[in-house]
Chain A
């Protein structure tokens, strides 16, 4: 599925490249492979320099958001948790904007400061949402979402204020804020990969523990889970992964909501299976959403966050209604 979506996305665009040709061009760029190609050089540039990094980035960001979303859902025992909805993405966006706009250097000793600033903002946001919704014996589910929405709006307000004050021409940043992969290259891929690898490995490793935590905190403790430490570790991992994704792609909502749920509907709730599959589903979904974003209104582009919101918001409402029907 993922491979098919990627292939479709590589081939489609202003210049149509036959899928077979696109695939060979990609293979040719792998180390130790040197095929003798007869395709025009522009195709090579389009596939390898323009489309592929963008697709890889979309896949990575989709996987990152889906993993974080799945982890937040398991951790808060709330099927409606999503990095975007609980304010994490908004906090990360504000952190990243501060680095982008103010005089804070965006690069220190060769390490990009963007993900780190995004992480700081995201951590503040998730901590605030968590503290507000914390009750004796657990987390109030409704409050968590409401707090997340409030924090998102607050962070969004500050982000907007910063943008207006900083520069007369905020349109490129505004596009980033809506989320998208315009102009994405291999550099962005390199920024996000280490965070995603660490985050994904850590979150997937906690799959069984997340299963046990679905019971309730007290009982999980009696089954040998160090609940407090697990919570901190998983929140840090999910937040770090979200922040890295936001720092390269802006605010893309609902991927973290849709992907884990789609997997849950089909394969059940074992988090050891759910998290890796959700990563694949998120990657596939975001590649396709990005494909729609850049082709639907060609030659201009739609923000990909708009596409995911248009798919995700109705899905969110459906989940809300189903929840009410159950209780």
Chain B
């Protein structure tokens, strides 16, 4: 199995008469992490949903491994693409382990119960996300960070070729943020996986993403390597804030520090 390429070709999305995504194109290289950054309302979540096949673009198409996601059945699509929503719904009354096992749903027929392979996949995903010890706990009793790791584990248990993450590290402390991103890198070393992630933390995005696209008002302003995309000018244009972009003293990444900007008015 090889990692699949994700191609977004001229996608426009209209919701309630408002164009929330206008003619967006990008290519996420197989086996890499592609980061989406941009202010709230820039269209990152909508773009991820379009890639996931959850909404129908008014124009354009999304190809995963060369196949239009709208032409796939739900199950076929779920075998190829897994996603973790920004704030996933917490299915009360289920244990964390049961929630992770739900990731195996696309692999199972209507009358089939989970078997050895499904339990192995779920266990592996929980080892990777360091959540094995939470398996028996009710999901609603977990902290925000623990839940987030469980939902990532569910997506990993799905064993898809593409993983879509909508702000996977928001609301997490910096230790867990780094742990989540490192886990992704670890998984990607072990199996072919293409990741598209919406990120809020620009420094973290620059550090972990192989390629970045900066969005605002439903379009991509710039795409490419972090150093080319995250500049003073592009950050001012998209976020409306003056920022200082520094080179990381240690390993050559970037550090983005917001400076002066507007007030909420």
Chain A contact residues, CB within 8 Å of chain B: 205-206, 208-209, 211-212, 214-216, 218-219, 221-227, 264, 268-270, 272
Task: Give the distance in Å from the alpha carbon of A226 to the alpha carbon of B94 in the complex.
Answer: 21
Task: Give the distance in Å from the alpha carbon of A197 to the alpha carbon of B52 in the complex.
Answer: 38
Other-chain contact of B105, A205, A216, A225, A272 (Cβ < 8 Å): A225
Contact A268 B93 (CB under 8 A): yes
Contact B102 A223 (CB under 8 A): yes
Task: Give the distance in Å from the alpha carbon of A255 to the alpha carbon of B120 in the complex.
Answer: 40
Given A205-B111, A206-B110, A270-B98, also A226-B105 (CB < 8 A):
no
Contact A209 B106 (CB under 8 A): no
Whether B77 is near chain A, meaning CB under 8 Å from some CB there, is: yes
Q: Which 5 A-B pairs have the closest CB atoms?
A: A224-B106, A224-B78, A269-B93, A224-B75, A216-B89
Contact B85 A223 (CB under 8 A): no
Whether B257 is near chain A, meaning CB under 8 Å from some CB there, is: no
Most buried by A among B54, B105, B108, B111: B105
Would you list which residues of chain B between 18 and 60 have a CB under 8 Å from chain A?
49, 52, 54
Task: Give the distance in Å from the alpha carbon of A269 to the alpha carbon of B99 in the complex.
Answer: 12
Binary CB contact string for chain B from 171 to 189 against chain A (1 if under 8 A, 0 otherwise): 0000000000000000000
Q: Min CB distance, A228 to chain B, in Å?
A: 9
Task: Give the distance in Å from the alpha carbon of A310 to the alpha carbon of B102 in the complex.
Answer: 39
Q: Min CB distance, B264 to chain A, in Å?
A: 28
| Additional 18 contacts, C-beta under 8 A, given A215-B89, A223-B78, A226-B73 | A206-B110, A208-B105, A209-B110, A211-B94, A212-B102, A214-B94, A215-B88, A218-B49, A218-B54, A218-B85, A223-B102, A223-B103, A224-B75, A224-B79, A224-B105, A224-B106, A226-B74, A268-B93
Q: Min CB distance, A270 to chain B, in Å?
A: 7
CB closest residue in chain A, given B99:
A215
Task: Give the distance in Å from the alpha carbon of A43 to the alpha carbon of B192 in the complex.
Answer: 73
Binary CB contact string for chain B from 73 to 93 against chain A (1 if under 8 A, 0 otherwise): 111011101110100110101
Which residues of B sit under 8 angstroms from A215, Cβ to Cβ? 88-89, 91, 102
Can you report 7 A-B residue pairs in the complex whose CB atoms are below 8 A from each other? A209-B105, A218-B85, A219-B88, A222-B77, A223-B78, A223-B106, A223-B158
Q: Min CB distance, B96 to chain A, in Å?
A: 14
Q: Min CB distance, A322 to chain B, in Å?
A: 13
Which residues of B sit under 8 angstroms from A227, Cβ to Cβ? 74
Q: Min CB distance, A55 to chain B, in Å?
A: 31
Given A208-B105, A208-B108, A270-B98, also A224-B77 (CB < 8 A):
yes
Contact A226 B75 (CB under 8 A): yes
Contact B77 A211 (CB under 8 A): no
CB closest residue in chain A, given B107:
A224
Which residues of A sit under 8 angstroms from B49, Cβ to Cβ? 218
Q: Min CB distance, B106 to chain A, in Å?
A: 3
Contact A222 B91 (CB under 8 A): no
Most buried by A among B108, B111, B158: B111
CB closest residue in chain A, given B114:
A208
Given A214-B91, A215-B91, also A222-B73 (CB < 8 A):
no
